[in-house]
Amino acid sequence: MKKPLFMMVDGMALLFRSFYATAVAGQFMINSKDIPTNGVYGFIKHFFTAVNKFHPTHVAVCWDMGSKTFRTELFEGYKANRSEPPVELLPQFDLAKEIVEAFNVPNIGLEGFEADDCIGTLAIQSCQDADVLILTGDQDILQLIDENISVALLKKGFGNYHVYTKELFFEEKGIYPQQMIDLKALMGDSSDNYPGVRGIGEKTALKLVQQFQNVEGIVSNLKNLSKAQRTKIEQDLEMMYLSRQLAEIKCDAPVSCSLNDALFQIDRQKVIEKFKELEFRGLHRYLEIEKEYA
């Protein structure tokens, strides 16, 4: 018997991508209530395009719930390099959640945790009973890939994905998905603003992880490293371990979403009414793909 397919959507990734794709040209789609809707409009297109491509039986959308998380408590500089969202995007966070609710799809988020942590937790909870597909544009989520967990990375445009399985990831990267955490511990992450080990870049980090498996293996083999590598790691040992903590997606966050709660059943009339309320045109055709679920 074919297992259910649970598609977990990184709501923040879809919304930000959709917003900036049109905001660069100043196309904010201001409606009659003076509310910008460009990000939400693109979010809907991305959502239904993925549904049409992958045909999930169950769906949930996960969100960040503010910039303060346990990671900012661990490291004050975490994501401190990021600017505040544009004012045109601010009202669209709630609008996107309203749209998801109109799809009869659960919105999942928890203060103090990132959307990634919610996705990781739900993926681990569900992967025995369902195949899990994570829809995102964030490569950090690749660390979650496992036997029953795959990741569809959004590429430019609509309907273009790089779908990673455990085998394909190893074939392409030369390491296993979970070793990404150790890779980030060494090389850091400039977009999330944590340094890793100063002076060690991706190439060296990858070589070390391939050779010694993980951070613990590297530390226990310091005598086998070059003098320059050993010195760098010894000087930044504490930051290396902290960077590993920051890089690792937490898969035991206090959230849950049963398969029953995530069963994908669209109420077409409810969605059409929401489209009318938001003054969206041209999206009705995307609902045609939902007839088998409605």
CATH superfamily of the domain spanning 177-247: 5' to 3' exonuclease, C-terminal subdomain (1.10.150.20)
How much is the pLDDT for 282? 85
How much is the pLDDT for 1? 72
Please answer whether residues 118 and 110 qualify as being in contact, where contact means their C-beta atoms are separated by less than 8 angstroms.
yes
Q: CA quadruple 242, 246, 250, 253: dihedral positive or negative?
A: positive
DSSP letter, residue 221: T
Instruction: Pick out the chain residues at pLDDT < 50.
Output: 290-294
Please report, for the chain, the start and end positions of each structural domain, with discontinuous segments joined by +.
Answer: 5-169+249-283, 177-247
How much is the pLDDT for 289? 53
In the numeric block, the tokens 């049963």 are attached to 258
Evaluate whether the domain defined by 5-169+249-283 bears CATH number 3.40.50.1010. Answer: yes
CB contact burial 148-178 (16+ within 10 A = b; e otherwise): bbbbbbbeeeeeebeebebeebeeebebebb
126-148 pLDDT, tens digit each? 999 999 999 999 999 999 999 99
Residue 71 CB partners (closer than 8 Å, separation 6+) = 78, 79, 114, 245, 246
Amino acid at 20: Y
Helix (H) or strand (E) run with residue 164 in it: strand 161-164
Give the separation between CA 25 and CA 22, rounded to whole angstroms: 6
